[in-house]
């Protein structure tokens, strides 16, 4: 008999299973086991009472594949209704990504690279950092990866900006209300622990692979967590004595937030922005599986076509881009810290 037949027999559920009490054999394995004189499974070999194991003893118990199929059917049933709501809300993201990609690729290199160097100087005030940016982009352009690099940069700019635009207010709300924090922490934990590929699965069913918002939403969901957490942490770490002094001067909650708490929490917020940009870059590579342009496409090409040189050089390009973005955001953070100390 099946391993867990005794369970349903003792509980009197054999009728619910659609079988008579002490019914016949449930599988060929049981038949062979009885022919060999083995009617019971040893404790050492006892399987976990999973859906499939219980189904062997009682056909009314669903199998694990029934559960996964049910989830799929449920999602497909609400897909059209969900798309009616989500599609208009996310359409601006598609427009932003399309326009950013067009701008980054349309502007000539002799304007774009000096412009990026100028932005770097404005943020970091470091000649070495400007030289690093010039060298990295010059190298990537020299090996004909300029267009792919600009595509990756455009996606990161848009997605990181949206992460900051929504993440900082969410972090502020968490820091000012413990209930909001308790409600959002499980959501942030889930977003932070989900494997990157899992973000793409429901979105593929909702949107066409030709729509930029497909990969844009995945990148934003994956990368928004650090800026939310560190904004919340930074504001909560503001010295209580400073808050009491602000109260003594008669500041309102709004004045304390923008005049005291956010400026003092800015180093933590910038650290969150740095991590968000790094995570955006990591997700851009994975999002190339669903038509995201950029250096990730070259990495994917190297894997699919076994082009070792293309894969290694595109990987090097991603590393250089990560170094640039990391150094620039850290230079901005260093300037903020220096200004606060002076």
pLDDT tens digit sequence for 159-217: 999 999 999 999 999 999 999 999 999 999 999 899 888 888 888 888 888 889 999 99
Residues 111, 20 share a domain: no
CB 337 within 8 A of CB 267: yes
For residues 78 and 198, state if they share a domain: yes
| Measured distance CA(64)–CA(50) in Å, rounded | 8
Q: What is the pTM of this model?
A: 0.85
204 and 56 part of one domain = no
* Whether 15 contacts 27, CB under 8 Å: no
The separation between the first and the last C-alpha atoms of the chain, rounded to the nearest angstrom, is 80
| Number of domains forming the structure of the chain | 2
Instruction: Give the phi and the psi of residue 4 in degrees, each rounded to 5.
Output: -105, 25
Q: What is the pLDDT of residues 112-140, one digit of tens each?
A: 999 999 999 998 888 999 999 999 999 99
Residues 132 and 249 in one domain: yes
User: Quick one: 184 and 88 in the same domain?
Assistant: yes
Query: Which pLDDT score is estimated for 144?
Result: 94
Same domain, 208 and 280: yes
Quick one: 83 and 56 in the same domain? Answer: no
Mean pLDDT of 140-168: 95
Q: Which whole-number Å values give the CA distances from 326 to 68, 242, 275, in the listed order?
A: 41, 31, 8
Please check the confidence at residue 35 and state whether its pLDDT lies above 60.
no
> Is it the case that residue 281 has pLDDT exceeding 80?
yes
Range of the domain at 279: 71-341
- Averaging pLDDT over each range in 3-17, 190-204, 217-231, which range is the top one? 217-231
**Is the domain of 129 the same as that of 253?**
yes
pLDDT attached to residue 31: 45
Q: What is the pLDDT of residue 311?
A: 92
At 42 the pLDDT is 73
**Residues 290 and 214: beta-carbon distance below 8 Å:** yes
Report in angstroms the alpha-carbon separations of 232 from 34, 44, 189, 235, 249.
64, 50, 14, 6, 24
Same domain, 25 and 77: no
Q: CA 267, 273, 277 angle in degrees (round to 5)?
A: 150
Q: Directed axis angle between helix 127-142 and helix 146-176, to 10°?
A: 130
Helices (H), 224-307: 225-236, 240-248, 253-256, 262-287, 295-304
State the pLDDT at residue 95.
Answer: 95
Tokens 């690729």 belong to which residue?
Answer: 105
Contacts of residue 268, Cβ cutoff 8 Å, sequence gap at least 6: 230, 231, 233, 234, 237
Phi then psi for residue 107, to 5 deg, are -70, 130
> The domain spanning residue 190 has which CATH number?
1.10.3720.10
Q: What is d(CA 140, CA 20) in angstroms, rounded to the nearest whole number?
A: 74
pLDDT category of residue 21 using cuts at 50, 70 and 90? low
Co-location of 50 and 79 in the same domain: no
2: pLDDT strictly greater than 90: no
Query: With 80 as the cut, is the pLDDT of residue 22 above it?
Result: no
Tokens 């003092």, residue located: 264
Highest mean pLDDT (candidates 109-113, 242-246, 336-340): 109-113
Domain boundary among 18, 42, 62: 62
Mean pLDDT of all residues in the chain? 88
Whether residue 14 contacts residue 21, with contact meaning beta carbons closer than 8 Å, is answered with: yes
What are 269's two structure tokens? 């917020």
User: Which residue do the tokens 């009682």 mark?
Assistant: 58
Statement: residue 45 has pLDDT above 80 = no
- Residues 187, 90, single domain; the answer is yes
- Average pLDDT of 249-267? 90
DSSP codes of every residue in 99-133: HHHHHHHHS-HHHHHHHHHHHHHHHH--HHHHHHH
Calpha distance 167→171 (Å, rounded): 6
User: Same domain for 36 and 80?
Assistant: no
């Amino acid at each position: 008999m099946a391993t867990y037949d005794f369970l349903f027999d003792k509980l009197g559920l054999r009728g619910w299973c659609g079988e008579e009490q002490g019914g016949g054999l449930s599988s060929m394995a049981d038949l062979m086991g009885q022919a060999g004189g083995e009617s019971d499974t040893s404790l050492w070999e006892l399987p976990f009472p999973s859906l499939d194991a219980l189904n062997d003893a009682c056909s009314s118990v669903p199998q694990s594949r029934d559960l996964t199929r049910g989830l799929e059917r449920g999602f497909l049933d609400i897909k059209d209704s969900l798309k009616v709501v989500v599609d208009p809300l996310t359409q601006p993201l598609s427009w932003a990504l399309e326009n950013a990609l067009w701008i980054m690729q349309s502007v000539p290199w002799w304007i774009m690279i000096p412009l990026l160097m100028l932005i770097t100087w404005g943020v970091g005030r470091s000649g070495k950092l400007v030289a690093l940016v010039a060298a990295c982009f010059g190298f990537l352009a020299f090996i004909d990866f300029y267009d792919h690099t600009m595509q990756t940069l455009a996606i990161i700019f848009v997605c990181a900006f949206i992460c900051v635009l929504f993440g900082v207010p969410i972090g502020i709300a968490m820091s000012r209300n413990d209930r909001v924090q308790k409600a959002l922490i499980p959501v942030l934990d889930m977003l932070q622990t989900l494997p990157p590929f899992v973000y793409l699965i429901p979105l593929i069913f909702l949107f066409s692979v030709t729509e930029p918002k497909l990969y844009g939403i995945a990148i934003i969901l994956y990368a928004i967590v650090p800026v939310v957490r560190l904004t919340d942490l930074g504001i909560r770490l503001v010295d209580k004595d400073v808050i009491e002094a602000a109260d003594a001067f008669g500041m309102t909650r709004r004045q304390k937030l923008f005049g005291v708490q956010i400026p003092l929490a800015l180093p933590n917020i910038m650290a969150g922005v740095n991590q968000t940009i790094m995570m955006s870059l990591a997700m851009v590579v994975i999002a190339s599986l669903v038509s995201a342009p950029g250096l990730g496409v070259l990495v994917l090409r190297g894997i699919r076509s076994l082009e070792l040189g293309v894969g290694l050089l595109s990987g090097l390009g991603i590393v250089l881009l990560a170094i640039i973005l990391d150094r620039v955001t850290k230079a901005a953070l260093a300037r903020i810290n220096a200004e606060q100390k002076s």
